[in-house]
Every structure is written in structure tokens, then in C-alpha cells.
Amino acid sequence: MIFELISNKEKAAKPPKARIERFDFKAIEGSTVCYHQPLYQAPLSRLQSAIYAGVSLRALKGRYYKIQSNGGYLHLHYPAGEYYKIAFRMMRNNVHTIRLAKGEVQNYQAAIEDIYYTRKEILPNGQAKLSFDKEIYQLRANLTTYIFSVRATLDTISSIFPTIYGPKIGQHISFNGLIKHILSGKCQIKDPVLVKFLSDEMEWFTLLKDVRDYLAHFGAINFSLKEGNCGALYIEMFRGIEVNAFVEAVDIGFSRLLKFLDEHCPNVIDSL
């Protein structure tokens, strides 16, 4: 993806040259249907208000964000001072997706446990045997949605850092790239509080990144069901990584990050 902050509106609006082999999708004719959906609370409400009321947007005046996919199918451009509104809307929707996916992960684990307690067969060697319909597939789908949605939200967060700190912090569409840049010592923006938090509180992100990279580049989750000594059922997503423990670690870390950003970044804007 291209995420470029530029001063030329025409350059930002200019679509990429169409490739010969490109799919040609026809525009849908007709009128747009208006629909309503609940507006859930933004995850960084204090920060959003601080950006709106502060002076940080002045540094972006006259600039535009160009967002374009590598293949050229997606091309968007926004005034840089308005982009944060789109980013906060995307974060709000993603956080709601995360909550829904987490709830479904819990629901399908409960369904699997119910089958274990009520319908398991015992083989001659004493090993328990289970038969499922869709429960394993649904657990895998919702856990994957949870993982990718958390990562997508983090990448969106990274894209608003120029709105908070100014263009000198650089343009980032990868949260991992943003962390590396800030901790490298080469970042022009100096924020010791942010550096300390990213240095001390992000092991959960390393865990999330490892799992996400495996899913994106190698394969799907293959669950292992294990019966504990007390008869309880445990569901592992990888050897030694149980589903509930993974989700709890990521969820706590993600919540702490959101809380930190919503408390610290408004102070950064107020100090400008």
C-alpha cells in the first residue's frame, strides 16, 4: 500500500495508469440506499476531541493523503486535515468487529466443551473422541477475524501519528514499522514517555505479530484438544499456546495501549 502525504492535490487525486490485464468492474447503476447503524463509542474519544480542538492540524494544512493499493485497484485521497475523521471511524468499526469476534470465540469454545462433556466417545485405549459439525471451523474463522482485526486497528492507529506529532514523525501504515522507527533513536520527534511505553509494554504485540504472520504467510490454525488431569478440556491453537490465554494476553495489552494513547496523546497535542 502507498500512504503518501503530499502537497499537490492533482497528484493525490490522479489514479494509477490502468494495466492491460486489469479486471474491468462496471459501475453499478441506480440510487444509493441510505441506511443507519448504531454509532459505537470511538476507542480513542479523548484523542479525537483533542485533535479537533487543538492546533496539530495546522501542520497538515494544504496537504493531502494519497492511499493506493499496489495493484492500483484501490485509490483514495483526502485532505490531510480531514483524514483523522476517516481513521477514527475505521478504528471504531474495527474495535466493534474485535468485540464481536472475541464473543464468538468464547461461544464456540463453549459449544466445543459442551460436545466434549455430553457427546464424547471413549475409545478402547481410554482416549476421548469427538465429532463436530461446524464448531471447529467457526472457532477458527472467528479467532482469525479477531487476530487480523486487532492488527488492522493498530495499523490504522499508526497512520494518525503525523496528525498527532506532525509530519516529522514520518508516514507509517504499519504499526510494527512505527514502533521500530520510534525506538531506533533516529526519530526526529522525541517523546520519552511514548518510548518507555513501547519499550516496556508491547510483548503482547510480538505475540500477536508472530501468530498473524503465520496465518498470513504459512497456514491456518490447527487446533489441538487436550483433556486435563482434572477432566477439563483445553483448546490449543499452537503448542503451548491455549486459545483463552492468547486472547486474554492480546486483549489486555491492546486495551492498555488504547488507554495509554487516549491519555498521553491529548497532552502531546496540548503542548504544541
Give the pLDDT of the chain (272 residues) as one tens digit per residue: 889 999 999 999 998 888 899 998 888 899 999 988 887 778 999 999 999 999 999 999 999 999 999 999 999 999 999 999 999 999 999 999 999 999 999 999 999 999 999 998 889 988 888 899 899 999 999 999 999 999 999 999 999 999 999 989 988 889 999 999 999 988 999 999 999 999 999 999 999 999 999 999 998 999 999 988 887 899 999 999 999 999 999 999 999 999 999 999 999 999 98
Where are any strands of DSSP class E within the chain? 2-6, 64-68, 75-79, 121-122, 128-129, 224-227, 233-238, 241-242
Domain assignment present for residue 197? The answer is yes
Is 212 within 8 Å of 268 (Cβ atoms)? no
Domain assignment present for residue 16? The answer is no
Domain assignment present for residue 148? The answer is yes
Split into its structural domains, the chain has a count of: 1
Domain assignment present for residue 54? The answer is no
The model's pTM is 0.93
Q: How far is C-alpha 124 from the chain's CA centre? A: 46
